[in-house]
Amino acid sequence: MGIEEQDQQWMAHALNLACRAEEEGEVPIGAVVVKDGVVIGEGWNRPIALHDPTAHAEVQAIRAAAIKQCNYRLPGSTLYVTLEPCTMCAGAILQARIERVVFATTDPRSGAVESQFQLLNHAEFNHRCRVDSGPLAAQSAALLKQFFRKRRNSPSTRVS
């Protein structure tokens, strides 16, 4: 299986986790950390359920991977995430020393990898990540748009 096929497979896994977040009423974002072809951590957005503003999908996946590896550093790993990471998540990715990040769709408002900032490849940091984007971008973007459309049209979230 080539890199592109693997990226599609792991992003599909992350997209399934995003659907789990949506089922729980969270913004549908999912993430999976893979090393040597094996999942070592996964997560989905849970800030509402956990009453924790840091409980983004990427942070959840990184925490799970670090516990599984018994190491706060995750060299040689790849993080797959359905939406471009924010500044907080980019910082966690750098601290974990993740080697590669693959995200599905950009976040034009707060993306910190390509859209607003390029933190994962900033010259001043002592760690940089290889970054790829695009696998299952249309599906991820559609899931997010559908989620927010439903939320805007819900009687319980309308502003009167």
Helix or strand run (H / E) with residue 50: helix 47-50
- Which one is catalytic: 58, 84, 99, 114? 58
Which pair of tokens denotes residue 109?
A: 């408002």
Q: Which of 67, 137, 134, 66 is nearest to 98 (CA)?
A: 66
Which pair of tokens denotes residue 128?
A: 């940089």
Check if the beta carbon of residue 20 is closer than 8 Å to that of residue 10: no
Burial-class residue 10 by CB neighbours within 10 Å (0-12, 13-18, 19+). buried
Look up tokens 């089922």; give the residue.
23
Check if the beta carbon of residue 86 is closer than 8 Å to that of residue 70: no
Say whether 5 is catalytic: no
- Known catalytic residues are 58
